[in-house]
Amino acid sequence: MPPLLSVVMPTHNRARYAMHAIESVLTQGDRRLELVVSDTSTDGELMRWVAQNPLGRDPRLKYFRPEQKLDMTGNHNAAIGASKGEFLCLIGDDDTIAGGLLEAAQWAHQKRVDLIAPNVVANYVWPDFRSRHFGARHASRLYFAKQMGGGKVSRASDSLALALREAAQGTDGLPKIYHGVVRRTLMERVRDRSGQYFHGSSPDVSGAVGLAVCSETFLVVDFPLSIPGASGGSNSGRSAMNTHKGKLSAESQTSSFVAAGWSPGVPKFFSVETVWAHAALETLKHLAPSTLIEFNFVRLLATCSLRHPEYGSEIAQATSEASEILGTPLLGLQAAVARERRMLRRARIRYILARAMRPTAAGGRPFVDGLATVAEAPPRLAARLVEMKLDWETAVRCLVV
C-alpha cells in the first residue's frame, strides 16, 4: 500500500543542511510518510552520512543518487518521479515539515481535497544567514506570523491571471507543490500534458504555474504545514546579500538552458526575477501557449531595470524581443517600461519608509532565538501553536470545501 504522503527533498552538495532536515522529517513522521531524497552531490558527504547513520536504514527514507548528471530542475523531476505517496510535498534541503502536515494530508484524503497551498506563517533562519541591512541579526531564529488560522478556496485560473499580471514574480497566491500538499494525480496530469513535472530554471515557480493550469480550485490556509529555511548557502541567502545574480552560463541553475534557448523577452542574466519568469514562460509554452501573450513583460523589464541596472544591454535586448512578441512598437514599449519603473520605485520608497518605522530585524514579528539547526524548529512551532490554541482542525473549521 502506498504511503499517504511523500515529502520530496532534492539536494546537491549541501549535506551540512540536508542531514538535519532529513533527521527532522523522519523524527516527526509516522508510517504514513515517506521521505524521498534525490542527491546529485559530487562531494559524497551526504551519501556517507546516510550510510553511517541509523536513520539511513529507516524504511521510510528513500535515498538515491541519480545515475545521470542532472541540473536542478532535472533533480526535482527525478525526485518527484521516485515518490509513491498519494499526496506530495516538495521542500528544500534546508527546510523541514511541521507537525500538522500529515494531519492535513489525512484531512485532504478524507475531504477529497486535491491541493492545499499554505501561506508562509513560520520560517527558520540558519546561523550562517546574513543580509546586507541586518547582518547576522536574523540568524538562528524561528519567526512566526502575528496571525495564523483561517483560509479560503481560490480558483486556479484567477490565481494564474494575477501571477501573469505580476510577471510571475514568486508563488504567492498560486497553488503550489513547494511547501504545499498536492494530490499525486494533479502532478501526473502536468507530466502527461507537458512531458515532465517541472520546466525552466525555477522548479517551485514552474510547479505552481503548472498546477494553476491543470487544476480548478485549491485551498489557501494561514497555517504552518512546513517550515521554510533560509541558509547562507541558499538562493535566499545570496539574495539577501544581493549576490544572487550573474551570467546565465556561470550558474548551474541556468547554464543548461542557454544552449536550448532562453525565453525571448526575459533578460539574459541570472537573477531571481529572470529565473522565475523563465520558468513560468517555459511551463506555459508546454501547457498553455495561448496564455503567453498575457505575461506582463512590462513589469518584468521594469523590475529588472530598477534592481539590476548593470545589465542594461541585456534588458534592452529583451525589450526588443518583447516588442515583437506583443506586436507593440519598441518606442511605445520602452515608454511603458519607464512608467512602470517609476511606479515600482515609488512603491519601493514607501516600503522602505514603512520598514524604517520598525527598525529591528524582526520588524515586529514574534520569534524565538538560539536555534542551531532547522531540526530544533518544529517543537518550538508546536509550542507556539499550543499557546495560540490553534491546530489544523481549528484552522479549517469554517471552510467549505
The C-alpha atoms of residue 141 and residue 134 are separated, in whole angstroms, by 13
What does the pLDDT read at residue 235?
A: 66
Query: Which residues does 374 contact at the CB level (< 8 Å), separation at least 6?
Result: 17, 20, 21, 24, 94, 95, 96, 124, 126, 227, 229
Dig out the grid coordinates for 295 from the structure: 505575461
pTM: 0.94
The C-alpha atoms of residue 391 and residue 385 are separated, in whole angstroms, by 7
The C-alpha atoms of residue 163 and residue 281 are separated, in whole angstroms, by 11
For the chain, the structural domain boundaries read 236-304+312-342
pLDDT digits (tens, 9 = 90+) for 309-345: 999 999 999 999 999 999 999 999 999 999 999 999 9
Displacement of CA 104 from its chain's centroid (Å): 19
* Residue 12 backbone phi and psi in degrees, to 5: -155, 110
pLDDT digits (tens, 9 = 90+) for 251-306: 878 888 887 789 999 999 999 999 999 999 999 999 999 999 999 999 999 999 99
DSSP 233-295: TSHHHHHHTT--EE-GGG-HHHHHHHHH-PPTTS-SSEEHHHHHHHHHHHHHHHH-GGGGGGS
Strand bridging mode 229-230 / 367-368: unpaired
